[in-house]
Structure 1
Amino acid sequence: MPESTAPDKAPDDQGVNTADYAKLIEIGIALSAERDHHRLLENILLEAKTLCNADGGTLYLCGHMVEHEGEDVFEAEADGKFLKFEIMRTDSLGIAKGGTTGEDIPFPPISVYDVETGEANHKNVASHVAVSGKTVNIPDVYEATEFDFTGPRKFDESTGYRSKSFLNVPLKNHSGEIIGVLQLLNAQGKNGESIPFSAQIVPLIEALASQAAVAVDNQMLIEAQARLMDSFIQLIAGAIDAKSPYTGGHCARVPELAQMLATAAVNADHGELSDFTLDEAGFRELHLASWLHDCGKVVTPEYVVDKATKLETINDRIHEVRMRFEIQKRELEIAYWKQVADGGDRDALKVELDAKLDQIDDDYAFVAECNVGGEFMAPEKVERLKQIAQGTWTRTLDDRIGISHEELRRKEVKPAKAIPAQEFLLADRAEHLFHRDGTFEAPNSEQFGFDMAVPEHLFNRGEIYNLSIARGTLTNEDRYIIQNHIVQTIVMLGQLPFPKHLRKIPEYAGAHHETLIGTGYPRKLSKKDMSVPARIMALADVFEALTAADRPYKKPKTLSDSIKILSFMVKDQHIDPDLFRLLLESGIYKDYAERFLKPEQIDEVDISKYLGA
């Protein structure tokens, strides 16, 4: 608390010095400025003790017991059913527990209401004050009969102390709800003897309690809002992870790794990171950004993110393609029997038929192999695919009935064929092209600085086009939609009215797919454009993805393989080399692995290969 500037004490007509009122104002200003919860509670009790020259005291907060991870945890709340010991002081015994001392208070919370009957607990003076909302001034606990003071008497027996006067004052918030109780013990006389608390000092302590209640209530409201914000953010992140089995616990693990890296960076005493600092608000900013970094995935279709084969959309269209080959085979068999019926050479025709059927089987097997993706699709394979596509089958039914209006609109770009119609086994048809309608766009590119190549079409579901994908299963259109999640993240977070100390959240969250040389997305940033927390996000995102063991589409990588891949990304200037070195030198890679990797993933890593040692 600041040093008092109050005038010399002069008794007024209430028996309280005017200096005490000045001190009360000074205390109120200091309490309202205190942001640390424990220091605030501690200062309330210490200043109250000073005002009335008390030897000791206790500050209780009201709340509820809630179950968390199988344990009962106290949660502060106005008009709660329990009073929790927050701060305890007894100067003459040298007792100082709770608050900034780091010493736990060994006493359980006091029940404000009887657990079995639900009736108010008026036996305990503190719980009585919490229920009644009235101050209670006890001159001598050994002469008091209206409350049960068994506890203080046992304390006296074990310590040799003499509990005498108790002053219990409720802490009421602006709504008149009780948020806690201030209990002062043993007012001290001029000669150090314990005396009753004077009636004149009670209004002053009540005024202090009122100021204290406002300060505590404001903090409780802020903390409640923070808890709500954290829970809501984690709910969104959990929903994104649950939306696709391919992301698993990604959104929960990235914050853990980012926190570890940021802490190590702050503690770095050499290299480029030695000047990096991050205060408590900065750590929270990075923590929330880590949880929110993939929030844009909420708009990304699962069938694009989870595209396991080249022809897959909501369903895998390889089944439709296979039926065309089946039809082609039946048509050949029908033609064979017609030729036999017309007197053709049965044996010669059968040899010819079997050869054609074998070729169809081989062609379909090749198409099916192309659909899986994987290895590089060489030009000669693409050429064979186009030749197979020229095969035909006969359609005898109208393909423009029983379909959606949107698909019909795309088909009507070209006139309908007369049936029966010859159709190709594979084709890139007009209805496979989805024109852009604003969906998955990068809005306000100038405002946000987006720099992404936008494909001509929203979707291109052409069969030959998709089966000819050189690597993997994604088309340029698919890849743009997936990459667009970071655009949506930036736009979504950019619309939120973050307070000043959280305004860098969009920057941190929106940079995890950028590189150091302007080849990333969505802004093509370079190292000079990215803060250290933003670069931490990029490394955390990649390392989590490499080591993740809950991706159903890939075998979990070992720790050494993941570090090796990261080293390649460092050489390509995609990942910050100083942070990569920090990851290794600090041992974070091992600490993270022990917490989140499967035992079979954790192997020895020779970090000297990457540190030049």
Structure 2
Amino acid sequence: MKKKGDYLLKIFDIGISLTTEKDPNKLLEMILKESREITHADAGTLYIRKNDKLHFKIIQNQTLNIFQGENGESIDLPPLNIEGDSVSAYVARTKKTLNISNIYEESDSYLEGPKKYDKMTGYKTESMLVIPLIDREYVVIGVMLLINAKTPEGKIVPFLKYYERVIAYYASQVAMYISNMNYLEEIHALFNSFVEVMVKAIDKRTRYNANHTKNIVVFLQKFLPYINNITHGELASQYFNRDRTEEIVMAAWLHDIGKLAIPLNIMDKPTRLAEKYEVVIKRIHLEKLQVKIYMLEGKINNEEYRSRTDFLDEVEKIIEICNSPNKYIDDELLKKLENLYKYEPIGDEKRLLLDDEYEYIIVRRGTLTDKERKIMQDHVIFTKEMLNRIPFTEKLKHVNMWASMHHEFLDGSGYPEGVDIKSIPFEVRILTMLDIFEALVSADRPYKKPMERKEAIGVLKSMAKDGKLDKTLVLEFEKSEVWMLEVGDQKSDVGSYEGRGEL
């Protein structure tokens, strides 16, 4: 038998583990194991209280060779009702320790459960030490059940009073740890809820962003395990453990939070003229009517009438064509739009195409002007500013940087900082690639048709060849076939990518 001092040293060691072990599942498993060793118990169960029920967290039985709950695995047993007739529920209700020498010499109803268990399994339960885990607010947050103290010769004996006091002290430390763990879980859940609300706010704010963030997270969560299984090549050294995975996934969820600060008329701009299209067409129609009136009144001759009418008919069609986000404005169209801009109406209108409308319609590709594109690109700056206000924990300290860099390219041509390959972390390279891919194949973008997925992979490879994306990463993404996943409301329709200078 070990000396009492040896047990105290073990408890001190366990106390150190309570502050250093990061994995709560490993720690709870160790807590029950060490408690059994201190008391020479053959078996034990650790319950965690949630919503007035005692949930099985760890089960250990040396004789039956049963060890459940290791590494956080769930135990397929129904939780015990606090108001139920079980010994653990009784201890949870009364907040009193039970030290029972032999359950078969007792007639309490709450001991019927262990007796039935013995009949089912052939196990023989005799002595029990059941201790409530009480936090600093005197709330029971769990129960530790120890079964069958044994001598070195294997004889079952009652639990010594000394062990009762030692484990009671130990249990108070464990209760404090579990309480802190629950508190951290509540904070974590609260923060995750906040993130979920913010993401939904972005996605609900505009139908054109409805699935973007969610889809990126789905691609990411499927791609990371693939990276972890790479055993050779440049990516063999990259491994995403639980913490690193949580951090990059959080960055993915928050990467577009800055879009909350972008005006909807820019973020939702489906065409070059947007709501001004009808205004321009109405001016052209009024000018046609005015031209006809001038002709009927003899203010212009038939030749001028036909010339103006033909011109107005043509530019009306041109405006309709050029307003489409998928139409590239070549030099020929640009010249015709310039002629419309310079056209001098004979009616009351000073111009058929105002300065801002002309600026909108002559955008070569996409729907946004340079000024609007800059505003749209500023969403990453707003992302950084907003995330700077969040006191991220040490485990999430890179979230802001990774989220706000997802438009940077390896050749330095990205934004907002224009940093190059030396300053772009591996995590950012993944997010950038997935952000571009999702934007290419997305069916909810106002300024383009969804691209066929194989074609989108081709775009990524082309960008990698140009030095903008990580070539090895793009090739592994293609090999992973994660890009073939059907997520959100995406379609696989063939469409040309015209873009608008922003992904």
TM-score scaled to structure 2, two decimals? 0.90
- Residues 330, 208 of structure 1: alpha-carbon distance in 2 compared, 3 angstrom cutoff: same
Deviations 1:330-365 (A, max 9, x none): 3334434544xxxx9xxx977875664454333323
What are the equivalent positions in structure 2 for 1:479-498 lying under 5 Å apart?
Answer: 479-498=373-392
- Residues 474, 597 of structure 1: alpha-carbon distance in 2 compared, 3 angstrom cutoff: closer
Q: Is the 8 A contact 2:268 2:446 kept in 1?
A: no
Q: Note if 1:86 corresponds to 2:57.
A: yes
- Residues 132, 597 of structure 1: alpha-carbon distance in 2 compared, 3 angstrom cutoff: same
1:402 counterpart residue number: none
| Match of residue 409, structure 2, among 510, 515, 521 | 515
- Residues 190, 560 of structure 1: alpha-carbon distance in 2 compared, 3 angstrom cutoff: closer
Q: CA deviation at 1:588?
A: 3.3
1:360 counterpart residue number: 312
1:426 counterpart residue number: 353
- Residues 202, 506 of structure 1: alpha-carbon distance in 2 compared, 3 angstrom cutoff: same
Partners of 1:559 and 1:371 in 2: CA distance: 26
Q: Which moved more, 1:50-59 or 1:17-26?
A: 17-26
2:12 counterpart residue number: 25
| Match of residue 286, structure 2, among 312, 327, 331 | 327
Counterpart of 1:223, as a letter, is E
2:123 counterpart residue number: 161
Q: Is the 8 A contact 2:450 2:492 kept in 1?
A: no
What are the equivalent positions in structure 2 for 1:212-231 lying under 5 Å apart?
Answer: 212-231=174-193
Q: CA deviation at 1:600?
A: 5.4
Q: Is the 8 A contact 1:139 1:166 kept in 2?
A: yes
Q: Note if 1:51 corresponds to 2:38.
A: yes
What are the equivalent positions in structure 2 for 1:176-325 lying under 5 Å apart?
Answer: 176-189=138-151, 191-312=153-274, 316-325=275-284
Q: Which moved more, 1:143-152 or 1:178-187?
A: 143-152
Q: Is the 8 A contact 2:441 2:491 kept in 1?
A: no
Radius of gyration: which is bigger?
1
Deviations 1:528-575 (A, max 9, x none): 221211111111111222233444654433222121222211121121
Q: Is the 8 A contact 1:393 1:425 kept in 2?
A: no
Q: Is the 8 A contact 1:261 1:588 kept in 2?
A: yes
Q: Note if 1:369 corresponds to 2:356.
A: no
- Residues 479, 43 of structure 1: alpha-carbon distance in 2 compared, 3 angstrom cutoff: same
Partners of 2:474 and 2:334 in 1: CA distance: 40
| Match of residue 366, structure 2, among 458, 472, 476 | 472
Query: What is the DSSP-based 3-state SS (H/G/I as helix, E as strand, rest coil) of the residue aligned with 2:63?
Result: helix
| Match of residue 476, structure 2, among 554, 573, 582 | 582
Aligned residues: 493
Deviations 1:411-454 (A, max 9, x none): xxxxxxxxxxx5222222xxxxxxxxxxxxxxxxxxxxxxxxxx
Partners of 1:388 and 1:296 in 2: CA distance: 38
Query: What is the DSSP-based 3-state SS (H/G/I as helix, E as strand, rest coil) of the residue aligned with 1:274?
Result: coil
Counterpart of 1:194, as a letter, is I
- Residues 601, 383 of structure 1: alpha-carbon distance in 2 compared, 3 angstrom cutoff: closer
Q: CA deviation at 1:55?
A: 1.3
- Residues 463, 217 of structure 1: alpha-carbon distance in 2 compared, 3 angstrom cutoff: same
Counterpart of 1:227, as a letter, is A
| Structure 1 or 2: more helix by fraction | 2
Partners of 2:482 and 2:325 in 1: CA distance: 35
Counterpart of 1:583, as a letter, is F
Q: Is the 8 A contact 2:86 2:113 kept in 1?
A: no
Q: CA deviation at 1:101?
A: 8.4
2:497 counterpart residue number: none
Query: What is the DSSP-based 3-state SS (H/G/I as helix, E as strand, rest coil) of the residue aligned with 1:365?
Result: helix
1:570 counterpart residue number: 464
Deviations 1:141-174 (A, max 9, x none): 2232333333222221122221112221111122
1:106 counterpart residue number: 76
Counterpart of 2:431, as a letter, is M
Partners of 1:324 and 1:552 in 2: CA distance: 26
- Residues 596, 366 of structure 1: alpha-carbon distance in 2 compared, 3 angstrom cutoff: closer
Gaps of 5+ in 2: 495-503
Partners of 1:240 and 1:26 in 2: CA distance: 49
Deviations 1:298-329 (A, max 9, x none): 111221122122222xxx11222222223323
Q: Note if 1:391 corresponds to 2:347.
A: no
Q: Which moved more, 1:284-293 or 1:367-376?
A: 367-376
Query: What is the DSSP-based 3-state SS (H/G/I as helix, E as strand, rest coil) of the residue aligned with 1:235?
Result: helix
Partners of 2:416 and 2:443 in 1: CA distance: 28
Deviations 1:475-511 (A, max 9, x none): 1011111111112112222343323332222221122
Q: CA deviation at 1:596?
A: 5.9
Counterpart of 1:535, as a letter, is R
- Residues 355, 190 of structure 1: alpha-carbon distance in 2 compared, 3 angstrom cutoff: closer
Q: CA deviation at 1:41?
A: 1.3
TM-score scaled to structure 1, two decimals? 0.75
Partners of 2:17 and 2:313 in 1: CA distance: 84
- Residues 508, 46 of structure 1: alpha-carbon distance in 2 compared, 3 angstrom cutoff: same
Percent identity reads 32
Q: CA deviation at 1:184?
A: 0.9
Q: Is the 8 A contact 2:45 2:144 kept in 1?
A: yes
Gaps of 5+ in 1: 1-6, 10-16, 64-79, 113-119, 396-421, 429-461, 603-613
Partners of 1:469 and 1:333 in 2: CA distance: 32
Deviations 1:87-139 (A, max 9, x none): 1112122221112385x533211111xxxxxxx33x22211221221212222
